[in-house]
Amino acid sequence: AAELARAVSWLGAEPLTAERVRKWAERKRIVPHGTAIHRGNEIPTYLVSDAVALLAQDARPKAG
């Protein structure tokens, strides 16, 4: 989540926090596309394109 947030923010998209990525995952809005080992723990990995798409979706004005 933290690395994805840094990558998306670095690309110039809206700033993204690791906590937001974790919430998306908790709500099943973003799904893992693999795992990585970090400090002996298996962590999910996500696609940057999925995060950018969710940011764009969340930025759209709500109808109604």
Quote the pLDDT of residue 26.
97
Quote the pLDDT of residue 10.
86
3-class SS of residue 55: helix
Q: Return the H-helix or E-strand segment holding 44.
A: strand 41-44
* pLDDT tens per residue across span 11-49: 876 789 999 999 999 999 999 999 999 999 999 999 999
State the pTM of this model: 0.79
Contacts of 47 (CB under 8 A, 6+ apart): 33
Quote the pLDDT of residue 64.
62
10 Å CB burial of residue 16 (0-12, 13-18, 19+) is: buried
Dihedral angle sign, alpha carbons of residues 23, 26, 31, 33 = positive
